[in-house]
Structure 1
Amino acid sequence: MSEARGRSEAGDAPGGVREVKSAARTVELLELLAERGDRPARLQELADELAVPRSSMYALLQTLIGRGWVRTDVTGSLYGIGIHALLTGTSYLDSDPRVRAVRPYLDEASQALGETVHMGRLDGRDVAYLATRESHEYLRTISRVGRRLPAHVGALGKALLAERDDAGLPEGPYEAWTSHTHTTREALVADLAKVRERGYSVDREEGVVGIVGFGFALRYDSPATDAISCSVPVARLTPEHEASVVAVMREIRGKVEGSSGGGAVEWR
């Protein structure tokens, strides 16, 4: 069960207000469908996963289908996330002043380095990708806008975890994405100490085999919640290129932090 769905079982929303069960159930369903990606779900699967009576789940699905939040196949037996989820996600990105401020600098970094660069935001124990500029060279990565990745796996997440006290790290073991992933708390803590010492994180094939990432926390918040990174195929990563990537990304971080004044609304 996801962390978000687990929170709703406690019965209290932020601020101590009793949460609305029907609203919580709707959100849980949409989160579950989003997690499944390209794997559509059947009615009974959804009812079982969320511990909801089949009849109630069917009624909820039909309501959401009518509003475009859920879609179904021609047989009406398979369900997936609907287009309104995309439209809402796009609205989030368009309305976020930090994302708007960072985008031009991602363009600058990508043009200077010829590599793929990202912006991500810490969300619980994951990092959500908010912006990506792809390399002109073929590069197979797992990241795209809206994708989530466990914070212990990639350069973005480790850059942000290093801004926080290690006491907040879970005990583990952690999920392994490759044979290089840190799967113990001790290994991750040792890596985060190096991140703090050098000022940026390095992901050496921990999330994707053949890809090295360099992550830089954006410290316009304390602790930082946003970071930028550059992903480079191992085949192109010479010592000279690595030095260039680090230098350019440090410069980009400085420009972002110097220019980002945030927005009129301070979101929590």
Structure 2
Amino acid sequence: MSEQPDLAVRKVKSAVRTVELLEFLAARQDEPVRLREVSEALDMPRSSAHALLRTLVAQGWVRCDLSGTLYAIGIRALLVGTSYLDSDPYLPMITPFLDDLRNDLDETFHLGRLDGTDIVYLATRESKQYTRTASRVGRRLPAYATALGKALLAERFGGERDAHIPSALRPLTVHTVADRRALDAQLDEARVRGYACEDGENTVGLRCFAVTLRYCTPAQDAISASVPLDRLTPQREREIVDALCAMGDKVSRVVRPLANGDRWFTSSRVSGD
């Protein structure tokens, strides 16, 4: 009987290690890793890392090359990720508004959701003037380094804000605001102004603007516009910000009746505090 609690703890640790491994591989995107890298990054014995990798390869969650030495995220992770998007009740309601923004302004627009200290991109509508080689959907970036994240962090205060900002702010580019006092000042300004912005803090050469979607409390989602600096004028900036603010209010009014009864955001908010 005395061994049962220890067994339960070991099972939880095993689950945590599995999730950490999958998230580590997912963050590498198209860069496969070796066993040694996994062991060092996750502070895991090589024997344990190898056994876990081989188990996940057998289940399709991880793939490896013919030599069996390089590992990357597997196809089953894609199936789970797309099922999340397919089951989200808000996406079908919000994406038509992103379409309208892109059609009217021909810039790139995003929908992002706050998840811990990160922003996860749930939808993207690319400008026809320029395209990226890879979709941003499913990517996660530190909330403090994105306009989407700043818009949502600006809605929070004290411990609630602290829960979504890591103790050490790692610069993603030379422009990333990595000082907590400067970040808080920027967030306070965004709250007063009604929208957030960032200049090349995660992608050099782009300025991003974002507004919160207030269909639940505290807000979990935001929409943003990304514009290359080389063709952004003060007049164009005002046009984009005005359109974002108007659309954010419109989306919030449309989605709020559904979100008022949402149990998912409520449960995640309680467990995250």
Give TM-score, length-normalised by structure 1: 0.86
The answer to whether the Cα contact below 8 Å between 2:216 and 2:260 also exists between their aligned partners in 1 is no
Deviating more after overlay: 153-162 vs 91-100: 91-100
Aligned residues: 253
Letter aligned with residue 226 of structure 1: D
Offset from partner CA, 1:56-81 (integer Å, 9 cap, x none): 33332222112210000011111110
Residue of structure 2 aligned with 1:127, choices 73, 96, 119: 119
Query: What is the Cα deviation at residue 143 of structure 1?
Result: 7.2
Aligned counterparts of 1:172 and 1:239: Cα–Cα separation in 2: 35
Which structure's residues are more often helix, by fraction?
A: 2
* 2:156 paired residue number: 164
- CA distance, structure 1, for counterparts of residue 254 and residue 102 of structure 2: 19
Shift of 1:50: 3.3
Query: 5+ unaligned residues in a row in structure 2: which ranges?
Result: 269-273
1:106 aligns with 2:98: yes
Residue of structure 1 aligned with 2:42, choices 50, 56, 76: 50
Distance 1:120 1:214, change over 3 A: same
| Matched residue, 1:217 | 212
**Structure 2 SS opposite 1:152:** helix
Give, in angstroms, the shift of residue 140 of structure 1: 5.4
Tell me whether 100-109 or 57-66 shows the greater mean CA deviation: 57-66
Letter in 2 for 1:227: A
Q: Is the 8 A contact 2:209 2:224 kept in 1?
A: yes
Residue identity in the other structure for 2:211: F
- The code of the aligned residue for 2:207 comes to V
Match of 2:65 among 70, 73, 78: 73
The whole-number CA distance in structure 2 between the counterparts of 1:106 and 1:112 is: 10
Shift of 1:37: 2.1
Q: SS of the counterpart of 1:228? A: strand
- Do residues 174 (structure 1) and 174 (structure 2) align? no
In structure 1, give the amino acid aligned to 2:13.
K
Residues 199-210 of structure 1 mapped to structure 2, 5 A cutoff:
199-210=194-205
What is the TM-score of this pair, normalised by structure 2?
Answer: 0.84
* Offset, 1:85: 0.6
Unaligned runs of 5+ in 1: 1-10, 12-16
Q: Distance in 2 between matches of 1:177 and 1:44?
A: 25
Counterpart among 15, 21, 24 of residue 16 in structure 2: 24
- The 3 A distance-change label for structure 1 pair 263 and 189 is closer
Which residue is 1:252 aligned to?
247
Shift of 1:234: 1.1
In the alignment, is the contact (CA less than 8 A) between 2:117 and 2:166 conserved in 1? no
Q: Which moved more, 1:249-258 or 1:82-91?
A: 249-258
Worse-matched range after superposition: 181-190 or 45-54: 45-54
1:8 corresponds in structure 2 to: none
Q: CA deviation at 1:237?
A: 1.3
Counterpart of 1:266? 263
- Asked if the contact 1:155–1:215 (Cα under 8 Å) also holds between the matched residues in 2, the reply is yes
Alignment deviations for residues 103-130 of structure 1 (CA, whole Å, 9 cap, x no partner): 1111111111100000001111111111
Separation in 2, partners of 1:233, 1:166: 34
User: Against the structure 1 CA distance between its residues 263 and 63, is the aligned structure 2 distance closer, same or farther, given a 3 Å change threshold?
Assistant: farther
Q: Do the aligned partners of residues 84 and 211 (structure 1) sit closer, same or farther apart at CA in structure 2, a change above 3 Å counting? A: same
1:145 to 120, 124, 137: 137
Shift of 1:141: 9.6
Task: State whether structure 2 residue 193 is matched by structure 1 residue 198.
Answer: yes
Q: Confirm or deny: 8 A CA contact 1:141 1:208 kept in the other structure.
A: no
Residue 271 (structure 2) aligns with: none
Shift of 1:172: 5.2
